Amino acid sequence: MRSTIELIILATAGLIAGILAGFLGIGGGTVLVPLLVALGYTPVEAVATSSLSIVITAISGSVQNWRMGYLSFNRVIGIGFPAILTAQIGVFLAELVSSRLLLFLFGCLLLLNVYLVEVRQQITAHKKQQEEQQVSDSAISSNQNILFNPVFARILTGGTAGILAGLFGVGGGIIMVPLQIVLLGETIKVAIQTSLGVIIITAISACAGHAIQGNVLWIQGIILGLGGLLGAQISTRFLPKLSDKTVSLMFRIFLVILSVYIFRQAWMQP
């Protein structure tokens, strides 16, 4: 049986992950996987248990977004459906790769998204300039910024998120948010709110796949999830009040810090 101190650490980490989930549109796995590895669990156990926690956290945040009128079910379903299938591909790959390689790839993913955050900032700024120059409703403005066929863009976004969910134990929001902005022309806040809804689907699919393999630590995952439930309720209430610049800066700092830690953990693996 785990010590009381470890249970407190897990609950606190879940709270922090939930706050980040609501603010940044991620499931929180980027916090939870490194934490679980630091507590002595294997990388594949960390990935699997993180996916269980993310299910609870994402449901909490999405329910709050829905109550506040900030969640579009059409957007969520369009991106989430392909993620159900590809999450199983990620689960399969997680079983094949070594612990060192899994952590190294996770660190590379974090660094890639530091760049993608900068890309989405530039696109968002460009979109605002366009909106200032023309008088049109938000739907028309959004469509003018779509760079690819919307159906293809949603399949690509959801499919990529699903693989990441199964492979790395993240909800997939870490890639869904920038892809929605780049491919679908969404604003950063809409992308975050939609991402959190899709994460419910990706996390359930990934968790089910890992549960079949016997990788999920149920007690730890539930404790993390309950902490995340509270954190997501807090952050989703404050997200609409924050500027896009503030949210993006938080995201980038967060990713850099975690990438350094993950690479260190990968180096220490036998």
Q: What is the C-alpha to C-alpha distance for residues 119 and 121, in angstroms, rounded to an integer?
A: 5
Q: What is the C-alpha to C-alpha distance for residues 4 and 236, in angstroms, rounded to an integer?
A: 29
pLDDT of residue 139: 46
57-77: pLDDT as tens digits = 888 878 888 888 878 888 899
Which residues of the chain have a pLDDT value below 50?
135-136, 139-144
8-65: pLDDT as tens digits = 888 888 888 787 766 666 667 777 887 888 888 888 899 899 999 888 888 887 888 8
pLDDT of residue 215: 92
pLDDT of residue 124: 60
Domain count, the chain: 1
pLDDT of residue 141: 46
Parent domain of 77: 4-268
Distances (CA, A) of 84 to 40, 81, 156, 247: 30, 6, 13, 28
